[in-house]
Structure 1
Amino acid sequence: MKSVLLPLTTHVDLAPISEFTARFSKKHSATITALYVEPDPRTAIPFVGEGLSADIIQSVQEAAEQENDEHEKFCKEQFAEIMKSHSIAKKNGDDILPNSHYRWKTLIGEISDHIGRKARTADVSICMQPSDKHECYKHLFNDLIYRSGRPVLMIPTEGNFEVGTNILIAWNGRAEVARSIANALPILRTAGKVSIVQVGEIDEDRPSLYEAAEYLEDHGLTVSIIEQPQSNAGISDTILATAQDIQADLIVIGAYSHARWHEIILGSITTQIVANTKLPVFMSH
């Protein structure tokens, strides 16, 4: 985990996610790219109607641009202070610094214009748990999951988290969780405890829970195997309960194995875990 992307916008609560990112990145001596997406001031201009002069349009745009710049400056200064409190220095030019450091980038546009694409050159992106109260978090999460091709580390909106000491992997034999495990290897190698859980039976043509454990053991990891029966509680609730029982601080899952129309109409285990978890979740689609 040497390259961490932290997407930020006007509506992101900067302090908690920046604090988490600083701790996580320092543990892995990673570079943080704080990518601040500033709204295009032209979007502040209402639809041109009768009586709306060019002077009014220009004044509205200039006011919006000034407001955006002031907010970006405030966020940049706040972020720099948080990095400084963790002894994380700013990267200047081509300087090669020995430990974790950060860079700040500002782009103009919408989340969908930039976030997913820019995340393709990061080892992991960090975002907040999406919720009905935070539409921005939903847009960030969805763009990272579906457009980046890279893993996402999602943290709940409430809590102070340290991840990577006691990790639970939710195994179902699908490609998405296999990709998540491979992407999470740098975190798994630093963990004190790694457990892998399977709820109920999986198709015989998929790799078994024990084959997944063997793969991790090939990478020098000691793995605890947990087999849980499928019950009325549901797979997602069983995974979350197991994580709580073993006092895990991070859950690794495969994200959205089915087609998006299937997820929207019927729901999914991923959706339920994302909505209900009180722990950070590392996932790949």
Structure 2
Amino acid sequence: MPMTRSSTEAPRYAGLLTPVHLGAGAEATIRFAARLAQALPCRLIGIGADEIELPYYGDGTGMVDAVLLENARGVVQEDLAKAEALFRRVAEGAPAVDWRCAIEQPRGFALTQCRAADLVVLARQGPDDEAVGRMGVAPGDLVMELGRPILVVPPGVETLAAKSAVIAWKDTCEARRAVHDALPFLVRAEAVSVLAVGEEAIENGAQDVCGYLAQHGIAARAVLRPDSAEYVVDEIMTQVRHQGADLIVAGAYGHSRMREWIFGGVTQDLLETTPICCLMSH
């Protein structure tokens, strides 16, 4: 995955983090993250977590047999050991690797451990893919609370050269944060466009974003679609195809309510259907 226009003063990621599970696609995700860490270059942190599950007999006593508890703990520890072995084997090519694990709810563990990295790499499942299992976390489980950008990797994508990027621009704090968080990729890209769609496309600051990027040595161009009758994601994908882009940069919009994630339509579609890598920030 060659990177171009590298500079000692350019923005860079010091560390990537990827959650590890034992389900479908686990090895492919680790391999993608390791290749990216090697190309940038930076440290790669793998994390694994799982909860202890005990049988419920419905007797209302609230008592847990000590033997059952110990057996369940042993199963979790065995799975975490398998996840570590998988991670270390597949991530061997990364410049430096670190492993962290816990007997804990996977989503909660990921939310705390992300403090150690600049970017979280997560694969999304395809519509016909098998479930990732109990240790897995989906991008939608994390993006709204993580406090770090997420790189969503679609099925079948093995590498990210980040040669061409489309910024899905909307004048919000989420989009501004996404542009800043993506700088280590954008400074290496050969083509960057700032796409604004809808009635406010002309006045929502896309040209200012191009000016901001120019200060970082990035020659971006504004693409304005004020009269578009297309759905925003369709316009994004049209620009991706026209440009031959391999990266989308976008803000993640939505809020949480009683631990259910309520996403804006564009965010949900990008999380679930984008055919190329998508960097999202909230």
Task: Return the structure number with greater helix share.
Answer: 1
Task: Establish whether residue 46 from structure 1 lines up as the match of residue 43 from structure 2.
Answer: no
Work out the CA distance in 1 between the residues paired with 2:238 and 2:23.
32
Work out the CA distance in 1 between the residues paired with 2:275 and 2:148.
23
User: Which residue in the other structure is 2:37 paired with?
Assistant: 25
Q: Do the aligned partners of residues 264 and 143 (structure 1) sit closer, same or farther apart at CA in structure 2, a change above 3 Å counting? A: closer
One-letter amino acid of the counterpart of residue 20, structure 1: F
SS at 1:113 equivalent: helix
SS at 2:143 equivalent: helix
One-letter amino acid of the counterpart of residue 81, structure 2: K
User: Which residue in the other structure is 2:84 paired with?
Assistant: 76
Larger RCO, structure (CA 8 Å, separation 6 or more): 2
Task: Establish whether residue 202 from structure 1 lines up as the match of residue 197 from structure 2.
Answer: no
Work out the CA distance in 2 between the residues paired with 1:181 and 1:266.
20
Work out the CA distance in 2 between the residues paired with 1:241 and 1:266.
22
User: Which residue in the other structure is 1:235 paired with?
Assistant: 232
8 Å Cα contact 1:173/1:207 also seen in 2 = yes
- CA RMSD of superposed structures (Å): 2.9
SS at 1:146 equivalent: coil
User: Which residue in the other structure is 1:5 paired with?
Assistant: 17
Work out the CA distance in 2 between the residues paired with 1:135 and 1:117.
21
Q: Do the aligned partners of residues 158 and 140 (structure 1) sit closer, same or farther apart at CA in structure 2, a change above 3 Å counting? A: same
* Range with bigger deviation, 113-122 or 147-156: 113-122
Q: Do the aligned partners of residues 26 and 198 (structure 1) sit closer, same or farther apart at CA in structure 2, a change above 3 Å counting? A: same
C-alpha deviation, 1:241, in angstroms? 2.1
User: Which residue in the other structure is 2:5 paired with?
Assistant: none
- Deviation digits for residues 125-148 of structure 1, max 9, x if unmatched? 111126676476994423421222
Task: Establish whether residue 221 from structure 1 lines up as the match of residue 251 from structure 2.
Answer: no
8 Å Cα contact 1:117/1:147 also seen in 2 = no
Work out the CA distance in 2 between the residues paired with 1:144 and 1:246.
30
User: Which residue in the other structure is 1:97 paired with?
Assistant: none
Identity of aligned residues (%): 23
Q: Do the aligned partners of residues 265 and 38 (structure 1) sit closer, same or farther apart at CA in structure 2, a change above 3 Å counting? A: closer
Work out the CA distance in 1 between the residues paired with 2:149 and 2:194.
19
Work out the CA distance in 2 between the residues paired with 1:52 and 1:220.
63
Name segments (4+ residues, structure 1) moved above 3 Å: 9-13, 50-54, 130-140, 229-232, 258-261, 263-267
User: Which residue in the other structure is 1:183 paired with?
Assistant: 181
C-alpha deviation, 1:105, in angstroms? 0.9
8 Å Cα contact 1:115/1:140 also seen in 2 = no
Work out the CA distance in 2 between the residues paired with 1:135 and 1:82.
17
One-letter amino acid of the counterpart of residue 271, structure 1: Q
**1:111-126 paired onto structure 2 within 5 Å:** 111-126=106-121
C-alpha deviation, 1:250, in angstroms? 0.7
* Range with bigger deviation, 132-141 or 229-238: 132-141
One-letter amino acid of the counterpart of residue 45, structure 1: P
One-letter amino acid of the counterpart of residue 74, structure 1: K
C-alpha deviation, 1:6, in angstroms? 0.9
C-alpha deviation, 1:36, in angstroms? 0.8
**1:52-91 paired onto structure 2 within 5 Å:** 57-84=65-92, 86=93, 88=94
C-alpha deviation, 1:193, in angstroms? 1.9
Q: Do the aligned partners of residues 269 and 50 (structure 1) sit closer, same or farther apart at CA in structure 2, a change above 3 Å counting? A: closer
Work out the CA distance in 2 between the residues paired with 1:53 and 1:265.
37
8 Å Cα contact 1:168/1:197 also seen in 2 = yes
Q: Do the aligned partners of residues 147 and 186 (structure 1) sit closer, same or farther apart at CA in structure 2, a change above 3 Å counting? A: same
User: Which residue in the other structure is 1:271 paired with?
Assistant: 268
8 Å Cα contact 1:130/1:138 also seen in 2 = no
SS at 2:144 equivalent: helix
Any gaps of 5 or more consecutive residues in structure 2?
1-12
Work out the CA distance in 1 between the residues paired with 2:224 and 2:146.
32
Instruction: With the length of structure 2 as denominator, give the TM-score of the two structures.
Output: 0.83
Instruction: With the length of structure 1 as denominator, give the TM-score of the two structures.
Output: 0.82
Task: Establish whether residue 35 from structure 1 lines up as the match of residue 50 from structure 2.
Answer: no
